[in-house]
Amino acid sequence: MPEVQGGVVDAAALGAADVGTLIALAQGGDRRAFGTLVEQHYDLIFRTAYKWSGNRADAEDIAQEVCVKLATALASFDGRSAFATWLYRVTLNAVRDLQRAKARRGRNVQALTIVSPEDQLPDQEDAAAAGELWMAVRKLPEKQRDAVLLVYAEDLSHAAAATIMGIKEATVSWHIFEAKRALKGLL
Amino acid sequence: MNDDDEFKGLSQLNVPLPTPEARRRAVGASLMAFDRAQEAQKKISPADQGAGGTERLMSIVSKLKGLWTMDTRRYLPAGTAALALLILAPLGYQLYSTTALTPAKPTIIGVPPVDHTTLPKGPTGTIEPRPEPAKDGTPPVANTLPAANGAYAGNADKVSALVKTETDQPQTGTAPQASPKPADEERQDEAAVLASVNQSPQPSQVGGLAAPTPEPLAAGKPMPAARDVTSVDTLADADANAPVAAQVAPAAPMAMHESVMVPPPAMAKMSAATMGARAATQVTGDKFQNFAESPQKAVATDPVSTFSIDVDTASYSYVRRALNEGRIPEPDAVRLEEMINYFPYAYPAATSASEPFKPTISVFPTPWNKGTELMEIGIKGYDPPITARKPSNLAFLVDTSGSMDEPDKLPLLQRALGLLVSTLSAKDTVSIVAYAGSAGVVLDPTPASEKSKIMSALDNLSAGGSTAGAEGIELAYQLADEHKTDGNNRVILATDGDFNVGISDPDQLKQFIKQKRQSGIGLSVLGFGEGNLDDETMQTLAQNGDGNASYIDSLSEAQKVLVKEAGSTLDTIAKDVKIQVEFNPATVQSYRLIGYETRALNREDFNNDKVDAGDVGAGHTVTALYEITPVGAAGATPTVDPLRYGQKPAVPQESPAPTLATGQSAELADVKLRYKLPGQDTSKLIEQPVTPAMAVTDIAKASDDARWAAAVAAFGQKLKGSDYAGALSYNQIKTLAAGARGTDPDGYRSEFLNLVSLAGTLSGEAAPTQPVHEKPQPPAVN
């Protein structure tokens, strides 16, 4: 619970308030609580987006998209799962949406471009994120990729990953198994 | 366990810190969106008040059915959207131009998708955050009824309630909300009610908070006013306590300015750049079984070649789609036999159901390799007259997972199945089961004569969610079983690659399908869309279910597969059809089977009736090509050297009848075909030797069909970069094909010619004789 001073929660107290409180306040329309909540979770969102997309520009796009979405989607968060779990799901959906939208547009662009965008040098960070394993994992089908990254990159249990992906635990294991099989030659 | 090391490296990545600008921009944008959402709720709410609680709730539920889908990305209730647009269009535009992210989303228009995301539609929902409350299927109405008494903490009403607790309340325009009865307009009510459903797990927390902290909430409420001035003013009004205003006010203008000041061109530029980068590395995500081409084999050591026939055509549709989208398809996506078998061939058909095949064999020079010859084996299944067609009992098992929500998936599927239904007669039965997303029986077994009922059930399918629709497949088989006919009983699985049909272990699933097939219910698979397509599983399942896998990329393809070839898709006239060819070492030096790599059988499997093989439907044509090198062929590249020692003793052993009848010694090969009639367990044999009389020395003398098959094979080999492709250019392939087009009543062959041109252009090989119509040749391509 935030500290209460004469009926006013001050900014410091908001900053220290636990997530549940912030969510409740934000759901009730408290702008500052919402802002604080987004601030607090921006890093998590960005990190996830970066791991999934592999470059800063996309990660920033995705993170901003998620933040905007939170403004309306937060009302549907019901506390049944942990906020972080829920946030993962929103983020992964945003990753998927962005990538699909780009894939659709990209195909035609690709057929007509003279200079391959591949020629652009990635910046250093992106180069590090573009390790062979990472590249290979990101190219997996969405579900396999999500399962592998949640379990190995985010270090979650199969059960937690299953909750985030909205599928059964056994299915997560199966996706990972499939991913291993698909990448056999590479690993 | 020990495998886990493979992915260990994934925990190592150092993610860079987000830049402060990006963070500020994101937070600012989200606050803007938050304001929009709050404001939209407030503005819309006073519009329509006074209906009774229960009644309203009922009307919400029924109204939702018609007007809403759970996907907030595309659909909005028309009236609300229009109202929101009127009020918020300028603001929406502002946000749009500052985020450049998702122009079509309701976040921007300002409608509070809060409500959309929580609509009590049950597991059919698809929304950005997957709707957890919907999963357990608890009827939301039950939950909301007590809430209607005002004891709930829904968004707006909670705020109103809190506002009311304040002593001095100068806010304008919010007075109606302060009424204790939740007498708001319907939409508002939905929001409140639904919000209360969502918050129900933590009501005490909300309540506890609300009481001691009225100020922040009250202060938060006026914030939605779009201009900083307003918000600061109202803040000051709401509470004379200066510190509060001071604390909140800076936040608001900051957010406003941050987001407004982001120069849109910069954003757009960034997006364009990242989009480009994506284009180059984008992969489809579709899965194909890897396979190596059948190698050249020496007749001396391997005189017998055995394979199962394959009537699938999915590969061609996939290749066509890829080329039309401007990509060269993955090599493994190109399966030559499926490309060749896509086209109808005019082989003479068998005349009776009891002997349903008649092989047509011809031998002619290989267009891409001087010195070798192609041996074409064509069969056409018996095509029973339409009146004799047995009743069909079809259970559609339809994937309604969120990923199906694309124009080329569920909508196409609906139209495709509609086409199929239109060809059925009153004897036929149709049932529909959805899995993933909205799971369950959509349509109980219904006679195909009740077309409108079936069509409306099809129309009501909607994609959403990724909830595992557990017993989907069992349900479909169960329905098929209930109305089993003596004719064709079949489950038709339509999916974009999500095989989460209830049995998650692939082997178990295969077993299940196999078992059901033995009990008389087959399975066919229709693939849709791309990005998620799991071609290998599709093929495997269809093979286990004695059905075929087709890839539907357009309505005309649906027309071909489900209407024109409905017979061959649905009406099996022979099953477990295997072909075995024994080559004569006296005349043929080596051979290579073109395609059918994934269908190869062991030599001994041919006579083993237990070994499963492909099925042939009514009127289906199947074509197989062998590239053979005749003994002593001039100019042939001797890919397999003759054995110096092994050959002599092998011959007497292998062929104990040394004195061949005259003519027999000149034969090239002996083609044997085994099949079972439907419902029988023992196979029958058809045998036909390949005599020199079947051979022509000039390819121009070969039949149109033969040359066509050769051209398609050449094209497929070239596309997949085959080692045996030879030096034919796309242009030469096109010329060859153009000469063999024949009458082509349905235009399939003409379409192929265009694909060849397209592939030529895409691969950088010019196609000068004829301009490519589909795509103006970009200057970039050399």
Contact: A28, B159; criterion CB under 8 Å: yes
Question: Do B301 and B198 have their domain in common?
Answer: no
- The C-alpha atoms of residue A130 and residue B484 are separated, in whole angstroms, by 55
Quote the number of domains for chain B: 3
Strand partners, B675: B684
Q: Is B484 inside any structural domain?
A: yes
Which chain B residues have a beta carbon less than 8 Å from that of A83? none
Max CA pair span of chain B: 116
| pLDDT score of B112 | 41
Binned at pLDDT 50, 70 and 90, residue B439 comes out as: low
Which chain B residues have a beta carbon less than 8 Å from that of A120? 273, 276-277
Q: Is B544 inside any structural domain?
A: yes
Decide if B465 touches A, using CB distance below 8 A: yes
Contact: B216, A33; criterion CB under 8 Å: yes
Which chain B residues have a beta carbon less than 8 Å from that of A133? 7, 9-10
- Nearest chain A residue (CA) to B239: A8
- Using CB atoms and an 8 Å cut-off, which of residues 224-243 of chain B contact chain A? 241, 243
| pLDDT score of B99 | 47
| pLDDT score of B24 | 85
Contact: B327, A39; criterion CB under 8 Å: no
- What CATH number has the domain bearing residue B397? 3.40.50.410
- Residues B347-364, mean pLDDT to the nearest whole number: 84
Which candidate, A183, A187, A143, places its Cα nearest to that of A167?
Answer: A143
- Residues B108-113, mean pLDDT to the nearest whole number: 39
Question: Do B579 and B563 have their domain in common?
Answer: no
| pLDDT score of B237 | 40
Contact: B7, A152; criterion CB under 8 Å: yes
Query: Residue B708: pLDDT above 90?
Result: yes
Identical fold for domains A8-123 and A131-187, yes or no, is: no
Question: Do B194 and B144 have their domain in common?
Answer: yes
Which chain B residues have a beta carbon less than 8 Å from that of A110? 279-280, 282, 326-327
Q: How many CB pairs under 8 A join A and B?
A: 351
Q: Where does a domain end: B553, B570, B587?
A: B570
Contact: A128, B14; criterion CB under 8 Å: yes
Which chain B residues have a beta carbon less than 8 Å from that of A151? 7
Strand partners, B630: B588
| pLDDT score of A6 | 37
Cα distance from A112 to chain B (closest Cα, Å)?
A: 6
Contact: B132, A47; criterion CB under 8 Å: no
Binned at pLDDT 50, 70 and 90, residue B580 comes out as: very high
Classified as helix, coil or strand, B687 is strand
- What CATH number has the domain bearing residue B325? 2.60.40.1230
Question: Do B434 and B345 have their domain in common?
Answer: no
Contact: B275, A24; criterion CB under 8 Å: no
Query: Could you tell me whether strands B572-583 and B669-676 are parallel, antiparallel, or unpaired per DSSP bridges?
Result: antiparallel
| pLDDT score of B298 | 85
- The C-alpha atoms of residue B415 and residue B412 are separated, in whole angstroms, by 5
| pLDDT score of B653 | 42
Contact: A11, B247; criterion CB under 8 Å: yes
Question: Do B380 and B398 have their domain in common?
Answer: no
Which candidate, B352, B374, B349, B373, places its Cα nearest to that of B360?
Answer: B349
Binned at pLDDT 50, 70 and 90, residue B715 comes out as: very high
Most confident of A98-112, A144-158, B453-467, B499-513: A144-158
Which chain A residues have a beta carbon less than 8 Å from that of B531? 100, 103, 142
Question: Do B339 and B451 have their domain in common?
Answer: no
Decide if B17 touches A, using CB distance below 8 A: yes
Cα distance from A136 to chain B (closest Cα, Å)?
A: 11
| pLDDT score of B66 | 38
Contact: A102, B275; criterion CB under 8 Å: yes
Q: How big is the CA angle at B134 (ends B130 and B137), to the nearest 5 degrees?
A: 150
| pLDDT score of B658 | 46
SS3 sequence of B89-152? HHHHHHHHHHHCCCCCCHHHHCCCHHHHHCCCCHHHCCCCCCCHHHHCCCCHHHHHHHHHHHHC
| pLDDT score of B471 | 64
Give the closest of B198, B244, B278 to A102, CB-based.
B278
Question: Do B362 and B426 have their domain in common?
Answer: no
Query: Residue B135: pLDDT above 90?
Result: no
Question: Do B152 and B212 have their domain in common?
Answer: yes
Which chain B residues have a beta carbon less than 8 Å from that of A111? 325-327, 762, 775, 778
Query: Residue B121: pLDDT above 80?
Result: no
| pLDDT score of B96 | 52
Which chain B residues have a beta carbon less than 8 Å from that of A63? 18, 22, 26
- The total of other beta-carbon atoms located within 10 Å of residue B79's CB is 11
Binned at pLDDT 50, 70 and 90, residue B377 comes out as: very high
| pLDDT score of B560 | 79
- Using CB atoms and an 8 Å cut-off, which of residues 106-145 of chain A contact chain B? 106-114, 116-118, 120, 125, 128-129, 131, 133-134, 137, 139-142
pLDDT 10s digits, B720-731:
888 888 888 899
Say what the ipTM of the complex is: 0.76
- Using CB atoms and an 8 Å cut-off, which of residues 80-99 of chain A contact chain B? 80-81, 86, 89-90, 93-94, 97, 99
- Residue-by-residue DSSP string for B390-447: PPEEEEEEEE-SGGG-STTTHHHHHHHHHHHHHH--TT-EEEEEEESSS-EEEEEEEE
- The C-alpha atoms of residue A99 and residue B771 are separated, in whole angstroms, by 34
pLDDT 10s digits, A138-182:
888 888 888 988 888 888 888 888 888 888 888 888 888 888 888
Considering only residues A124 and B694, tell me which one the structure prediction assigns the higher pLDDT.
Answer: B694
Query: Residue B760: pLDDT above 50?
Result: yes
Contact: B23, A46; criterion CB under 8 Å: yes
Contact: A31, B101; criterion CB under 8 Å: no
Question: Do B178 and B220 have their domain in common?
Answer: yes
Q: Is B98 inside any structural domain?
A: yes
| pLDDT score of B214 | 39
Q: Is B236 inside any structural domain?
A: yes
Contact: B117, A75; criterion CB under 8 Å: yes
Query: Residue B542: pLDDT above 90?
Result: no
Q: Does domain A8-123 have CATH number 1.10.1740.10?
A: yes
Binned at pLDDT 50, 70 and 90, residue B674 comes out as: very high
Give the closest of B17, B132, B220 to A29, CB-based.
B220
Which phi and psi angles does B98 have, rounded to 5°? -100, -15
Question: Do B105 and B191 have their domain in common?
Answer: yes
Cα distance from B584 to chain A (closest Cα, Å)?
A: 40
- Using CB atoms and an 8 Å cut-off, which of residues 16-55 of chain A contact chain B? 20-21, 24-35, 38-39, 42-43, 46-47, 50-51, 55
| pLDDT score of B89 | 53
Considering only residues B311 and B161, tell me which one the structure prediction assigns the higher pLDDT.
Answer: B311
Question: Do B29 and B174 have their domain in common?
Answer: yes
- Nearest chain A residue (CA) to B3: A180
| pLDDT score of B365 | 92
pLDDT 10s digits, A68-118:
888 888 888 887 788 888 888 889 888 888 887 777 665 555 444 443 444
CA distances from B328 to A61, A113, A141, B766, B771 (A): 30, 15, 19, 15, 19
Binned at pLDDT 50, 70 and 90, residue B143 comes out as: very low
pLDDT 10s digits, B164-218:
434 344 444 433 443 444 434 444 444 444 444 444 444 334 333 333 433 444 3
Domain hosting B343: range is: 297-384+573-631+662-762
Binned at pLDDT 50, 70 and 90, residue B470 comes out as: very low
Interface test with B, best of A5, A18, A27, A31 (most B CBs within 10 A): A31
Binned at pLDDT 50, 70 and 90, residue B498 comes out as: low
- Nearest chain B residue (CA) to A89: B129
Cα distance from A41 to chain B (closest Cα, Å)?
A: 10
Second-level CATH architecture of A131-187: Orthogonal Bundle (1.10)
Contact: A75, B112; criterion CB under 8 Å: yes
Contact: B30, A106; criterion CB under 8 Å: no
Cα distance from A16 to chain B (closest Cα, Å)?
A: 15
Q: Is B775 inside any structural domain?
A: no
Decide if B386 touches A, using CB distance below 8 A: no
| pLDDT score of B176 | 41
| Residue A9, CB-side half-sphere exposure with 13 Å CA sphere | 28
Strand partners, B331: none
Question: Do B431 and B498 have their domain in common?
Answer: yes
- Residues B381-410, mean pLDDT to the nearest whole number: 78
- Using CB atoms and an 8 Å cut-off, which of residues 534-553 of chain B contact chain A? 534
Considering only residues B221 and B454, tell me which one the structure prediction assigns the higher pLDDT.
Answer: B454
Cα distance from A10 to chain B (closest Cα, Å)?
A: 8
Would you kindly state where each structural domain of chain A is located, as residue ranges? 8-123, 131-187
Cα distance from A114 to chain B (closest Cα, Å)?
A: 5
Provide, for chain A, the percentages of residues in helix, strand and coil under a 3-state DSSP scheme, each rounded to the nearest 5.
75, 0, 25
- The C-alpha atoms of residue B571 and residue B574 are separated, in whole angstroms, by 9
